Chain A
Amino acid sequence: MQDRGGVPTSEPIDRTEHELDDWELLTDALVGALGAGGIMNVDERAAYYERWLFSIETNLIEKGILAPGELEARL
C-alpha cells in the first residue's frame, strides 16, 4: 500500500473512463478468489492490477506454491 494522502502533486486528475482489459479483470478475479480461499488477503496486496499480479507471484514463491522461474517457464 502507498500512503498517498496529502502528497504534493502537480499531476492533473485524468478523468478518462477506462474499461478493464480482460487480463485486468482476470487478475482482479485471481486476487478475489485467492482471498476467498484464505490464501491471500487484501493487506497482502501492494497496489493495482499489474502490481497486484507481480505481488501475487512473489507471495506464492515465498509460500512455496510457485517455484522461482516456474511462471516464466510457462510464458
Chain B
Amino acid sequence: MTAHDHDHDHPHEPIGSDGEPPAAARARALEELLVEKGVLTREAVRQRIDWLVSRSPADGARLVAHAWVDPEFKRRLLADARTAAAELGLDTGPSPEVVAVENTDQVHHMVVCTLCSCYPRALLGPPPAWYKSLPYRSRAVSEPRAVLAEFGVELDPGVEVRVLDSTADVRYLVVPTRPAGTEGLSEDELAALVTRDSMIGVAGPREPLSASA
C-alpha cells in the first residue's frame, strides 16, 4: 500500500517500530489467508476498495440539487429514494432501504446510528469520525439541540427537531432547505452548495456567493 500524507494530529493506533499500527499487518495477513483458502478473491477485495474510495457526497448532492429544481422529483425522492435516484443513474447502495427526508421551516432532521455507525455511504462517502464517535451517538438522541449548537446550528424552539436513529436496515438522507438567493443557479452550482454535513442534518447548505462577486 502506498504511503499517504495527512495531518497526524488525529488519534491513530500505536505506531510499531516499522511505522505502522499492528492492525495493518493483521489486515493484510488476513486478506492473504482468506484469498489462499478461496474464501475471497483478491479481485473482490480490490473491487470493494475501489468502490469505497469512489464514494463521496457528490451523488447525494446531485439528488438534493435535482430535488430543489424539480418539485415532482422531490416528491418521488421522498416517496422512494432508490427508484428516484435511479432516474439520475445513481445507486443508493447495498442497504436494503434508503429514505430521504426533507428539512422545512417547521422540521429539522438529524441522523444518527446509536447502535453502530450505519450511514448512506453510497450517497455521502465515508462517515466522518465524529459520526461514529461515542459522544455523538449518545448525545444526538438525548440532546440534539446542544449537539447542533456545537456544530453552529441554532434553531428556533418553534421548529421541530426530529432525530432519526438508523437502528435497522434503513439509511437516511436529509434534503436540506434550499438557501435563499439561489434562483438563478444551475443544478451543478446548486449541488456545490450541498455538503455532507447538511445531508446528515448537522449543518445547513452553503450560502451562495454574492451576485456582485
Contact = CB atoms under 8 A, between A and B. Distances in A.
Note whether A and B contact each other (Cβ less than 8 A): yes
Interface of A: 1-9, 11-23, 25-30, 32-34, 36-37, 39, 45, 47-50, 53, 56-57, 60, 65-66, 70-71, 74-75
Contact of A23 (B24, B32, B44, B116): B24
B185 interface: no
Contacts of A12: 135
A21 B29 contact: no
B134 A11 contact: yes
B31 interface: yes
Given A30-B34, A37-B39, A37-B40, A71 B141 contact: no
10 contacts: A9-B134, A9-B139, A11-B135, A16-B9, A23-B21, A28-B48, A29-B52, A30-B27, A37-B40, A65-B39
A1 B44 contact: no
Nearest to B1: A22
B141 A6 contact: yes
A19 B4 contact: yes
B28 A23 contact: yes
A8 B44 contact: no
**A-B residue pairs, 5 tightest by C-beta:** A5-B114, A23-B24, A22-B1, A29-B48, A6-B142
